Amino acid sequence: MKVHYYTGLAAIVLVAIHILFRLTVPEGYSASLEYENVIANYKNISYTLVLELILVTVAVHGFNGLRVILLELRQGDAWESAVKWLCIAGAVAIIAYGTRTIILASMM
């Protein structure tokens, strides 16, 4: 469970930074979501690093949590192996897809 607790604590800090980027725009929350503003966020290297860290920590925390719930509901070698690999595949897929967005948006 160590990985679950540490990714959880890291996610609290990182998500707080992510939300502050939406709330600290002087023109307001809606203005923070305007295309030009979001692209400017992606061009900020420090912020893209935070986004990538959020992507990895939340994906690992979320899919590990799902694995824990599914293993509480049912046990057995085949089930446990299937759940483990499905959760790893889910986490890898969402990290890859999100990383693609971060890279492409930062180059626009």
Can you give the binding site for other proteins, defined by CB under 8 A?
Answer: 1, 5, 8-9, 11-12, 15, 23, 28-30, 33, 35, 38-39, 42, 55, 58-59, 62-63, 65-66, 69, 73-74, 94, 97-98, 100-101, 104-105, 108
Q: What angle do CA 56, 11, 48 make, to 5 degrees?
A: 55
Q: Which residue number, 36 or 46, has a Cβ lying nearer to other proteins?
A: 36
Instruction: Decide: 15 and 58 in contact? Cβ < 8 Å.
Output: yes
Which residue, 69 or 81, is less far from other proteins as judged by CB?
Answer: 69
**Residue 102 and residue 42 in contact, taking contact as beta carbons nearer than 8 Å:** yes
